[in-house]
Amino acid sequence: MATPAKQSRKTQQRTIETRAAIMEAGAQLFATRGFAQTGVRDIADAAGCNQALVSYHFGSKGGLYDALLADAVERARAIAAKGFDHAHPVRALVRTFARAIGSTPHFVPMLLREYMEPERMLHPQTSRTLLGMMAMTRAVIDGLPETSPARQWDPQVVHLAIVGPLILFLVATPVRERVMREVDVGVSTPTLDEFADGLATIMEHALREN
């Protein structure tokens, strides 16, 4: 017979696994159907759990959406914490965002779909969650030398100038890879890290010269 301690550990593990399954199911459905067309029942069925567990873990469908965004923000912060190159902060920021956004396959199409049908993006809580990632951009801008004209830039504009191209690159990756397999065009497609380095060079030049 299992001891109470073992039962507690098993319960905790099931709770962790259920939460992860709900997040995975939600991300996939939000990416393929969009926020408005995805119901709590759809998420529960895809995750293989009861609808009540979606509400228990996230409060609502909107709460789950924001949890997915918050997870991306925390990944970015964790990546930055492991080795942010403060000597080249703009390049480090671009690389951080590239790796955080690219680390979850459903995150980018989920964001792109919401840009086209911004029901949830316009929600105050969602905006606050996204500001958590924008705060990293603001910190980099604020950390530039006092004499740098880039200190006058709107951090949100800088943030969008970084994240926008990364999202488009990742969304287009399957198309590029299929073309490379099917058509001999004599060129290679860059990796995410290579694209991020090119974007970082552009951003460094723009922030230094303007």
| Tokens linked to 1 | 């017979």
d(CA 10, CA 136): 37
For helices 107-116 and 61-83, the axis angle rounded to 10 degrees is: 130
Across 135-173, b (16+ Cβ under 10 Å) vs e yields ebbeebbeebeeeeebeebebeebbebbbebbbebbeeb
If residue 197 lies in a helix (H) or strand (E), which one and from where to where? helix 192-209
| Other CB atoms within 10 Å distance of the CB of residue 18 | 18
pLDDT at 200: 96
| Tokens linked to 114 | 């919401």
pLDDT at 4: 60
| Tokens linked to 82 | 């492991």
| Tokens linked to 7 | 């039962």
SS3 5: helix
Sequence-distant (6+) residues with CB within 8 A of 139 are none
Asked if 24 contacts 71 with a C-beta cutoff of 8 angstroms, the reply is no
pLDDT at 176: 76
d(CA 112, CA 31): 8
| Tokens linked to 40 | 């709590």
DSSP classification of residue 121: T
| Tokens linked to 196 | 């991020």
Per-residue pLDDT of the chain (210 residues; tens, 9 = 90+): 556 656 677 878 888 999 999 999 999 999 999 999 999 999 999 999 999 999 999 999 999 999 999 998 899 999 999 888 888 999 999 999 999 988 887 888 888 887 777 878 888 888 888 888 899 999 999 888 888 888 888 898 999 999 999 988 998 887 777 777 787 766 677 889 999 999 999 999 988 754
